Chain A
Amino acid sequence: MDDAQTILAFSKVRKSFGSGAEALPIVGGVTFDVARGEFITLLGPSGCGKSTLLNMSAGLMQPTSGSVSYDGAPVRGINLDVGYMTQADHLLPWRTIAGNIAVPLEIQGLPKAERAARIEQLLTLVGLERFGAHYPSQVSGGMRKRAALARLLAADPATLLMDEPFSALDAQLRLTMQGELLSLCARFRKTVLFVTHDLDEAITLADRCVVLGARPTTIRRIVPIDLPRPRDPVRLRTNPRYHALYAELWDLLAEPSTTAPQAQDAPSAASMAGAFA
């Protein structure tokens, strides 16, 4: 069965920042597989190295030991099969919304006429058809997030890496965006690795939820989210199974750490920027 094929594999992945005695272990041995078309949420406390796992999948950083494989081969250098969406939208402020969505299409070398048609399509898909000519500074945070999502879809990567993309949005908008993401993923059969520290979000979106412990991160448990699809983020809240899962994940997160938690905050190196520092 094609669907069960492993697309992304973490094998005994460890990552430390710095070297020698001052090395700060962030990821302390993580092993799990992601199947093609699967939606995985990574749930864990802030600064536990969730973003580091995404950065390694993208090839923005290399594991200190162990390996990250994509489509059967170890990830070396930039992984062009993935697209990244972070908490900040990182739209280019000097381009209009339409211009921002055009960026990946220009890189792909799509002819101008096709580009325009595709941008129209994507704007409609995320409900921004009237805002193509606006600059990012002229629209709301929610619209910028939609624009970033449209840009991600324009790049059309097989795998989406999403790092708390909706955490800056208000509760209502977040539910709307989750709903949109669910329907888009169902439609385009994307594999998704979605980092969050929000329990509701982790359950609503996932096929499986990987619960991580405090730094250095290890997997506490991988919880299959056996809720029926298609899901409606609002209606799910009334599902008893949903509440059972919520309680289970909560207990897992609250469990005292087996390793001594580190007092200081995660270094900024844990963000994407660290890959270029």
Chain B
Amino acid sequence: MMVALYRILFLAAFLAIWEAASKAFDAAFFISRPSLVAASFLKMISNGSFFYNLSITATEAALGFLFGAIFGIVAGLLLGRLKLLADILDPFLITFYSLPKVALAPLFILWFGIGIDMKVILAAVTVFFLVFLNTYTGVRSVSPEQIAILRLMGAGERALISKVIVPSALTWVFTGLRLSVPYALIGAIVGEIIAANRGIGYILSDAAAQFDTAAVFAALIGIVVLSLIFNGIVRLAERALMPWKAGEGTREISI
């Protein structure tokens, strides 16, 4: 309760100082001002452009996240179980992984145009590696004792995957998914900044080009909101899929 109160006070103080400083130094051109940002934000909401563009970016990021996550999980499971394949592909995957995915944007524009698919693919490629590497590590770190015990109970590969490997890797998968949320947004927004005529990234670069600092901040608010929503969804899914994690926080520790 107290914490919430202090947080509100902190926010209020921050906004007040921003407002005052912007006026005192006549710096609205560079840093705008909370009142101007609010006005710009309300205008974008009332003329519908905020939700329209936000929904486009959300769609791109969500689709990119979804495809990247699905391929990442499948590839992680597959390579986690097939050691030889993983050994063969290892240098290629590391090479591709070390490449900043954003650098691929020009190539993707060439291949897929400047429509929504280019952003989806850019986001998906980024998400893929994070989810893949985490899933792979998760599959690899499954306890060999648990696998041995299930084998002795007569478990085949399918039972092993469904009863031990997937649930055991799930913690890692979700770490990958949580890390991926901002990257899905980066993929979508960078794609929009580079080449687009809609989406929140387009609003951002368009406003900056017109020196409309207030609109830039309004667009940033939109991005933050989107990121929070995405994170919330992943967290909810995590809680629903890993109910045993809830009990672990409350147990006694023994060192």
List chain B residues, Cβ under 8 A from A107: 150, 153-155, 159
Question: Which residue of the partner chain, among A58, A80, A96, A138, contacts B154 with CB atoms under 8 Å?
Answer: A80
Query: Which among B147, B151, B152, B244 has the highest number of chain A CB atoms within 10 Å?
Result: B152
Per the 8 Å Cβ criterion, residues 237-253 of B in contact with A are: 242, 244, 247-248, 250-251
Residues of the B chain whose Cβ atoms lie less than 8 Å from the Cβ of A157: 152
Which residues of B have CB within 8 Å of A155?
A: 152-154
Binary CB contact string for chain B from 136 to 170 against chain A (1 if under 8 A, 0 otherwise) = 00000001111111111111000100011001101
Q: CA–CA, A108 to B153, complex, Å?
A: 8
Quote the shortest CB–CB distance from B245 to chain A (angstroms): 9
Determine whether the beta carbon of A92 is less than 8 Å from that of B148: no
Q: For residue A135, which residues in chain B have a CB less than 8 angstroms away from its CB?
A: 244, 247-248
- In the complex the two chains form, is A94's CB within 8 Å of B167's CB? yes
Give the Cβ gap from A275 to chain B, nearest Cβ, in Å.
6
Cβ–Cβ contact B152 & A58, under 8 A: yes
Nearest CB of chain A from residue B164's CB, rounded to whole Å: 7
Which residues 162-215 of B sit at the A interface, judged by CB distance below 8 A? Answer: 163-164, 167-168, 170
CB pair A84–B148 under 8 Å, yes or no, is: yes
Interface range, B side: 20 to 34
Of B148, B159, B164, B247, which is in contact with the most chain A CB atoms at under 10 Å from its CB? B148
B250, closest chain A residue (CB): A138
Question: A88 to B153, Cβ gap below 8 A?
Answer: no
Q: Is B152 touching A92 in the complex (CB atoms < 8 A)?
A: no
Chain A residue nearest to B163 in the complex (CB):
A103
Q: Which residue of B lies closest to A91 (CB)?
A: B146
A60 to chain B: which residues have CB within 8 Å? 148
- Candidates B145, B154, B248, B250; contact of A86 at CB < 8 Å: B145
Write out, one digit per residue, whether chain A residues 60-104 have a CB within 8 A of any chain B CB (1) or not (0). 100000000000000000111011101010101111100000011
Do residues B150 and A103 form an inter-chain contact, with CB atoms below 8 A?
yes
- CB-CB under 8 A from B168, the residues of chain A are 92, 94
**Complex contact A92–B144 (CB within 8 A):** no
- Closest residue to A82 on the B side, CB-wise? B152
Contacts of A104 in B (CB 8 A): 153-154
> Chain A CB within 10 Å — which of B150, B151, B154, B164 has the most?
B151
Q: CB distance B247 to A90 under 8 Å?
A: no
Report whether B145 and A92 are in contact in the complex, using a CB–CB cutoff of 8 Å: no
- Closest-CB distance, B197 to chain A (whole angstroms): 47
* Chain B residues with CB under 8 A of A273: 144-145
A90, B242: Cβ atoms closer than 8 Å: no
Are the CB atoms of A90 and B143 closer together than 8 Å?
A: yes
Residue numbers in A under 8 Å from B146 (CB-CB): 90, 92
Residue ID in chain A nearest B251 by CB atoms: A137
Q: Give the CA-CA distance A80 to B154 in the complex, in Å.
A: 6
Distance, CA A240 to CA B54, complexed state (A): 84
Complex Cα spacing A103 to B148, Å: 13
A106 in the interface (beta carbon within 8 A): yes
Contact with B along A252-277 (1 / 0, CB 8 A): 00000000000000000001110111
Cα(A104)–Cα(B149), bound, Å: 10
A103 to B154, CA, bound (A): 10
User: Taking the nearest CB of chain B, how far is it from the CB of A82, in angstroms?
Assistant: 6
Q: Point out the residues of chain B lying under 8 angstroms from A108, CB to CB.
A: 154
Q: Do the beta carbons of A276 and B153 come within 8 Å of each other? A: no
> A83, B145: Cβ atoms under 8 Å?
no
CA distance A78 to B148 in the complex (A): 9
Tell me whether B154 and A93 are in contact (CB under 8 A): no
Among A58, A86, A90, A95, max chain B CB count under 10 A is at A90
User: In the bound complex, what is the Cα–Cα distance between A107 and B159 (angstroms)?
Assistant: 7
Chain A 156-175 residues near chain B, CB threshold 8 A = 157
Chain A proximity of B35: nearest CB distance (Å): 51
Contacts A84-B148, A135-B247, A276-B144; is A92 near B164 (CB within 8 Å)? yes
- Chain B nearest CB, measured from A8 CB (Å): 15
Which residues of B are at the interface with A, using a C-beta cutoff of 8 A?
Answer: 143-155, 159, 163-164, 167-168, 170, 242, 244, 247-248, 250-251
| 21 A-B residue pairings within 8 Å (CB atoms) | A58-B152, A80-B154, A83-B153, A84-B152, A90-B145, A92-B146, A96-B244, A103-B153, A108-B154, A135-B247, A135-B248, A137-B244, A137-B247, A138-B251, A155-B152, A155-B153, A157-B152, A271-B145, A272-B144, A273-B144, A275-B148
What are the 6 closest A-B residue pairs judged by CB atoms, nearest first?
A: A276-B144, A94-B167, A104-B153, A135-B244, A155-B153, A94-B244
